[in-house]
Every structure is written in structure tokens, then in C-alpha cells.
Amino acid sequence: MTHFRKHRIFEGKFVAEIDVAVDPDGSPWGPTIDKEDVAKADRIRLALRRGDVTTAALNAKIFELHPVAAE
């Protein structure tokens, strides 16, 4: 039975969040992720690495991280 979970991709000051299909196949390797979802994650990661947030945002929620000063 396939179910979906959130996968976060951290690249520089950005985080992308996507839904991936996880298939608990019962093998010793554990649950597997669909091949198309892996390719989508790679495309998003490369887009963020290039600084192309617009392209990455077509397939994922994009968050920008800001440092917080400690007091």
C-alpha cells in the first residue's frame, strides 16, 4: 500500500517541501520512493542550487531560511 509523506530538500538558504510516494515493500532496504519522485527532487535541488527559485516553486513549496540572532 503506497502512502505519501513530506520530503524536505535543503539547499543553501532555501528549503523545498514536496510530497513523495512511499511504498513499504517489506524488503530489508525499507520503504522505497518512486523513481519519478526522486527525479523531481533532483530537479528541484538543482534549480535551487542555480538560484532559480521560480522553477523550483513550480513543483514544490519553497521556504527561505533567515538566521536569528541569539540573545
Residue pLDDT, tens place only, 15-46: 999 999 888 877 777 788 888 999 999 999 99
| pTM summary value | 0.81
Q: Is the pLDDT of residue 6 over 90?
A: yes
CA distance to 35, 46, 55, 62, 69, per residue, from 22 (Å): 10, 22, 24, 21, 37
Give the C-alpha separation, 23 to 49, whole Å: 29
Q: Is the pLDDT of residue 63 over 90?
A: yes
Q: Give the per-residue pLDDT at 42.
A: 95
Average pLDDT over residues 9-17: 96
Beta-carbon contacts of residue 56 (< 8 Å; ≥ 6 apart):
14, 16, 44, 47, 48, 62
CA distance to 25, 29, 47, 65, per residue, from 13 (Å): 35, 31, 13, 5
